[in-house]
A and B are shown apart, each in its own frame.
Chain A
Amino acid sequence: MLVQDVMHTTLTTITPKTTLPQAMRLVQQRGIRHLPVVENGELVGIVSDRDLKRAMASPATSLEVRELNYLLDRLPVAEIMTRAVITIAPMFPVEEAARLMVKEKISALPVTEGGRLVGIVTETDVLELLVKAMGAGEPSSRLDVVLGDRPSALAEAVKAVEAAGAVISSIVTLANRAGLKEAVIRVATINPGPAIKALEARGFTVRESWRGQQGPPHPTLSPGGGEDEGEGA
């Protein structure tokens, strides 16, 4: 997935001469947070709603409100825009855009090609994509089930899980360290309790790999030696 696959190409842009109030209105009307500043098709700066707020809320306590408004009405965005814009090219992978946004603490990246603005990609776009890549961020649990060496064990385990009402998303089987077959059954629920109970009722040993962990669990199937011996259906 490349930046060009997720970027927005219908853009609201302004020029360096656009005034602060004009820019503010655009931001409010369109509900957007970033306004690329473009001159002759070239990206010359960027203004965020935060920049605008900061400029317009500046405590100029010695000025009267009227005087302040007079000045603000004429202030072009060129005066407050960020000129050193962090951008990305369309052919970069989406993760690169994500990395930049995390590193620079920004929530939108203009996409440029040879200085020309061709699109914009936001934090939300990238987050959406990555969540989808994870399997749509759907509720999901993983059950590590020791099958033993009975040929029908897998079928029985599947029946038990389904009888408990859990929807199976995927199954992987492999042999653990002790040579015993294990099945990694992924179910589409964040509460695998009933499925675990059903499996245990049938004599299966289930290692649930994520609940109660202190930190992000490692994606290993066998949590260290010693626990595999002598177990099985």
Chain B
Amino acid sequence: MNAHAIGSVRDWMSREPVTVTPEASIEHVIRLMRARGIRHLLVMDGERLAGIVSNRDVRRLLLGGEHSIPPSAPVTRVMTESPVTVSPETPLTVAARELLDRKIGALPVVEGDRPIGILTKSDALEALLAWAEGPE
């Protein structure tokens, strides 16, 4: 039973994460998520990771009433600023623990300051499943 047989975040992350700028409208984000079949996007302010937005965040749009946010509003209104990140070398099991403890669906993977991928709960599940079904 070896946590290292599962590998590190780099082995299981999705590379080339889909990104938007902070000015992108929530409407645009929704369309992008639908088109690409994804649930998380990174918000990039130039080279800087400004935030992460999930499809749960944009769900707020449908609340209606005075608390609703118009679809044309920028994604900054709903995104999570300065998100928790992991390095590609972090063992996958440690990253999975972070996802669970913080109750979040995805972790941006950064090398220094540069996002190089995203690790979602599904990715982590796939990794652990591969281990659970492994050759041993």
Contacts and interface: CB of A to CB of B under 8 A. Distances in A.
Contacts of A137: 3, 93-94, 96-97, 100
B130 to A, nearest CB: 9
A123 B55 contact: no
Interface stretch (A10-18, A111-119, A125-133, A154-162): A125-133
Q: What is the predominant secondary structure among interface residues of chain B facing chain A? A: helix
A123 B4 contact: no
B35 interface: no
B116 interface: no
B121 A123 contact: yes
A57 B61 CA distance: 9
B7 A50 contact: no
B14 to A, nearest CB: 13
A135 B125 contact: no
A139 interface: yes
Interface string A79-112: 0000000000000000100110110010100000
Interface string A213-229: 10111110000000000
Given A57-B61, A102-B122, A216-B11, A131 B129 contact: no
B97 A210 contact: no
Interface string B15-45: 0000000000000001000100000000000
A65 to B, nearest CB: 11
Interface residues of B, number: 38
Nearest to A136: B97
A54 interface: yes
B91 A130 contact: no
A131 B93 contact: yes
A123 B2 CA distance: 22
B2 A219 contact: yes
A213 B93 CA distance: 16
A140 interface: yes
A211 B132 CA distance: 22
A219 B4 contact: yes
B135 to A, nearest CB: 9
Given A135-B3, A216-B6, A219-B136, 12 more contacts: A49-B59, A50-B55, A57-B62, A99-B133, A126-B125, A134-B93, A136-B97, A137-B100, A139-B94, A142-B2, A190-B90, A218-B5
8 contacts: A57-B30, A98-B132, A127-B121, A130-B132, A134-B128, A135-B93, A136-B97, A137-B96
Interface of A: 24, 28, 49-50, 52-54, 56-57, 95, 98-99, 101-102, 105, 107, 123-124, 126-128, 130-131, 133-140, 142, 190, 209-211, 213, 215-219
